[in-house]
Every structure is written in structure tokens, then in C-alpha cells.
A and B are shown apart, each in its own frame.
Chain A
Amino acid sequence: MSTPTIEVSNVSKSFGGVVANKMVSMKVEPGKITGLIGPNGSGKTTLFNSIVGYHPIDEGSIKFQGKEISKLRVQQIARLGMLRTFQQTRIYSKMNCVENILISVPHRTATFSDMFRKYPAELTDKAEHLLEFVGLYQKRHLISGDLSFGQQKLLEFAMALMNEPTVLLLDEPTAGINPTLINGLIDRLKRANEEFGITLFVIEHNMRVIMNLAEHMYCLAHGEMLANGTPDEIQNDQRVIDAYLGAH
């Protein structure tokens, strides 16, 4: 099998006395959609943050395409092609939608003089197409902070696509989105995966969404990796059911 896009081996992270992740190991295979579930407080977001370099890990190793990245900083990891979206949607709220997308161009090869160049027309076109892709084309000149929460989520997703990442880590992409929009979002996530070839790694609480989306799933509980397998296997795993229902 090819090199995993993300390979986490025996990673532990604690905050003071709270052990958020304990000897967690997992893999994200290239080109696939991988899911991560677990009850609240089980350490999903901590694992995300560790992977993208938001905080140092206590022990273990994290590899991106075979390269050790656990000592790199957030920006360096982002420039390698690993991007994350936030659970609390984060956009540049005083800029308009087109500007939000434009500034999200990949910065991997940006040189010093690139800072002072303008955006060529192709990039503006591409930005508008991405806004069309997420259904925000008409609102592209509005200040993004004035959009609804769901629209901001879609904008954040379009920003991530503009960055052309190898892998995209999505922290609860459907949280707070109106149920009728969720189907559209699932469809767009799948298209991003198939058409743009972006590997996805998704934290999700909505079981219907994640079962639909993911090809392989991991379940965290109390900071430990509880189970992994196909959506069907996870659904029928007694340990996963117990974790969610609170049996210990």
C-alpha cells in the first residue's frame, strides 16, 4: 500500500492533569475520506490540533506523506499542503467574499517579492468559480462577516479549496447548518474529494453524514482510540455504542 497521507503513531497529549490523547495511532490514506467520531471531550479536536502543529505533542510521531512534522509550526505545515477548518468557523470577517478566497491562494512557493504582486485575472475567475461552487456567487461582494453562519461555513470551505491542499481536515463541517443544506454540503465534500482529488479527514457528530461520507472511520473515547473500520463495522461495534451511550 502507498505511503499514508497522515500517519499518527502513539501520540499522547495532556493539558495539566487532563490526558486528552493517550497513545493514539491512526492513518489517513491518500485520496480517501476518513472519518473521526467520538463523544464530546473524547479528544478529537486535540488530535486535529496536534496534527496541524497547533500545540507540541508530549510523545509519539506524526508523519505527513512519510515526513515527520510533529516539530513543525502551523504555517509550515499548512504550506506543505495540510489544511484545517475550524469548529468555530473562522473567516476574515471584515473582508468581502472574493477577497477571502483570493488571500487563501497557496503560499507554498510564495517568495518575498510575491507579497507585492497583484492577483492575475485567472485567480479572480477561479475565486468566483469556487464561490459559485459553494453557492455564494451572488453575495461575493458582501462583507463576509454579514453572512449567515451556514454561509460562512461554506465560504470557509471554499477558502480551503482555493488553497489546493493535499489533505483537508474538517472539524464538524455540518455543525450549525440547516438540515436541508447538509445534503448539499455532503455532495460538495464528495465532489471536492473526487474532482479536486483532495484527501479528507473529517470530525463529525452527525452519524448520518459521516456514515454517508467516510470510507474508513476511527472512534475516539476518553482520549484513546477505541475502534476503527468501515462505517458498517463501526456502527455495529458494541464498544462504540457503549461509549456513546455512556456505559463503561
Chain B
Amino acid sequence: MIKEKYLHAGLLVFGVLAPFLFPNYTVQISLLWIMILFALTWDTLGGQMGYNSLGNIVFFGVGMYISAIVQIGVVYDVALYTSPDGAALTGNFAPAQYYTGLALGILAAAVGCVILAVLFSQVFFGLRGPYFAIGTLGLALAAGELVGAWDYVGGGGGIALPVFPSDPKSQGIFFYYLCLVSALATYVFLRWLYNTRFGLAINAIRDDEEKAEAMGIHTKRHKTAAWCTSAFFLGISGALFGNMTGFIEPLEVAFPTITFGIFMVAMALLGGKGTLWGPILGAIVFHLIKEVTWTYLLGWQWIALGTLIIINVVYFQQGILGWARDKWPDLFGLTVDEAMSSGSEKRGSS
């Protein structure tokens, strides 16, 4: 199997140099990192724990709004800012005010989403299988509508976020690196997490939750912690995406259930759910295909993406990595050990 350290080095070098190598694509590559974060965090529940959430996009949107409220709130009255009279204020942020607000906003988004995930866990983990999927889908759809009816945050009209206190090119590069760091942090954290007892416990919940309960595993505790992990990173990604876009509104930007909300599922499935690298691979392939079809097959792009998802679900249900594991099990360590016992193995190796 390809040594992971080469993959790490390759990704890191690409990540750091990309804005200089491909200056015209900074935004698209920033989005790629967010897509990787989406797929990784979706896979924590959907792939590793077997809970297919269609509502994870809620944390993205909530993170975006929490961050916006905090960023504005440190300087102005939010209700005034979002009222028609507040339109002139968007550019009135000194650099110090902007960066303090942004830092606090990102932090608040992450923490707020974790708190929300704890609350949702109390309700939604009573549901299993398809009921959990539909329940969380309802949550995502409701969240967009609820925020749209809330005038304090601008309702359906949305909010124009504080303007970056420098030129747009610096803004692109600034947020590019924040996206890179958040995606890498997600990867490093999950990689560690899946190697602890936690990883095995949520795998056990995926394979047979009743058995896990019968063996005394604290299932509720693990499920809640897993969703909190996803929520934490999704909240950060929402805060970043909102600031990159500059203008947020509930249905298309903050809670885009049928685009980002479905993409995160499709990317994890494409790469191979339940693996660490699968969602990353899926996100890269999916994002490339998406950007290429948007450029060269405009008008047919949704049909192309739909076809990709259908082929994936019908012929390659295990995704690219799952398929590779079935084809070359040796490469993934699925081998019969010739040694008869742990004792003879030690003798053999010494």
C-alpha cells in the first residue's frame, strides 16, 4: 500500500503552494478543503458509526450565523446592523475590530455547534436507520426556514458580513489558509480519534448497536461525542465560508440542503465510507468532476453529477477505497497468519 507519509507530504505541499501555483483557482481550492472537511465529518457518523445524517448541514449554517452575529456584535448592535439603516455599516470595521471579531466568531461557532449537537443528540439518537436520516433531513429543512423568519439576523434577506479590511486578493489567500488549516485539523483529529477506543466503539455501534448495548458499551455517550466532533468542525467551516462569500442568507448559502447537504453524503460514498482516506479521495474526485462539468458541460452539470451518484450507488456501493479493499485484501492487511499461536509467532520472529 502507498505509504501514508508520501500522501501527507504531497497534500501538505500542494496545500501550502496552491495559491501561488494556481492563483486563479484560489477560491475553488479553498472550497475543495471545505469539501474535504464536509466529507470527513459526515463520515464520522455516516461511515464510522452507521448513522446516516442528512442534517449535518445545519451545523454549517448555524456556525455561519453564530460567527456573523459575534463578528457584528463586538462592534455594533446586531438588530440595527441588519435593519435597512445598517447597510452603511458593513465597511466600517477597523482591522483590529475585524480580526478580533473573526477569531471570536469562529470560536463561538465551534462551541455553539457543539452545544447544539448535544441537544440534538438527546432527541435524534432515539431514531435509528432510515428514521434518523429522515429526522435529520427535517431538521436541516426546518433550520433554513426558521432562520429565514428571524428578523434579528436579517430574515430571508440575509446579512452582508463585515468587509475584509484589505484587497480581495489578500482576502482570498487569507481565507484559503484558514480553510486549509481547518481541513487538516479535522483530518489530524479524526485520524487520532479513530485510533483510540472511541473509533472501535463507534464501529461497533455501526455493525450491531444492540450487541454493543448488550456488551455494556456506553452507546449514548459515544454517539453524542461523535456528533459533537462533526459539529465542531462544521461550525468552523460555516464561519469561514460565510466570510469568504461576504453575504449570507438562509436557504442558498447557510442551509443548502440539496447542494452541500447532499454533496457531503455523495463524496463520502464515492470515496468509500467508513475509511479515513475514502472521504478525502471522494471529495477530491467529486469536486474536480463538479468544477469541470460546471465549466465544460454547463446546462448538463446536474445530470452529470446525478449520473455519477447513480453509478456509485448502483455499481460501487463501497466506494473507490472499499472496492480496492475487496480487490486487493492483502494490501489492507486482511491476511491469514500462518503462525498457529501468539507464542509461535514470537519464536518465529526472534
Contacts and interface: CB of A to CB of B under 8 A. Distances in A.
A78 B212 CA distance: 10
Interface stretch (A26-34, A36-44, A108-116, A198-206): A108-116
A138 B201 contact: no
Nearest to A107: B216
Interface size class of B (residues with CB under 8 A): 35 or more
B214 interface: yes
Contact of B334 (A93, A116, A142): A142
B310 interface: no
Contact of A83 (B214, B274, B341): B214
A236 to B, nearest CB: 36
B222 interface: yes
A158 to B, nearest CB: 12
A96 to B, nearest CB: 7
A86 interface: yes
A78 B197 contact: no
A160 B221 CA distance: 22
Contact of A119 (B197, B274, B342): B197
Nearest to B206: A94
B339 interface: yes
Contacts, number: 113
A107 B221 CA distance: 12
A94 B207 contact: yes
Contacts of A116: 193, 196-198
Interface string B293-337: 000000000000000000000000000000000000000011111
A140 interface: yes
Contacts of A95: 200, 203-204, 207
B215 A104 contact: yes
A113 to B, nearest CB: 10
A175 B53 CA distance: 38
B225 interface: yes
Interface in B214-273: 214-219, 221-222, 225
B335 to A, nearest CB: 6
B145 interface: no
Nearest to A139: B336
Contacts of B203: 92, 94-95, 99, 103
A107 B218 contact: yes
A217 interface: no
A142 B215 contact: no
Interface in A124-148: 125, 128-129, 132, 137-143
Nearest to A125: B342
A75 B218 contact: yes
B145 to A, nearest CB: 36
B214 A78 contact: yes
B215 A140 contact: no
Interface string B177-214: 00000000000000001011110110110111011111
Interface residues of A, number: 43
Contacts of A142: 334-336
Contact of A92 (B196, B197, B211): B211
Contacts of B196: 115-118
A4 interface: no
Contacts of B197: 102-103, 114-119
Which interface residue of A86, A103, A139 has the most chain B CB atoms within 10 A? A103
A103 B201 contact: yes
B340 interface: yes
A216 interface: no
A103 B204 contact: yes
B199 to A, nearest CB: 9
B211 A143 contact: no
B338 interface: yes
Contacts of A78: 213-216
Nearest to B274: A94
B337 A141 contact: yes
Closest 7 pairs (CB-CB, A-B): A78-B216, A92-B207, A90-B211, A107-B216, A103-B200, A79-B216, A128-B342
Interface of A: 52, 74-75, 78-79, 83-84, 86, 90-96, 99, 102-104, 106-108, 110, 112, 114-119, 125, 128-129, 132, 137-143, 159, 163
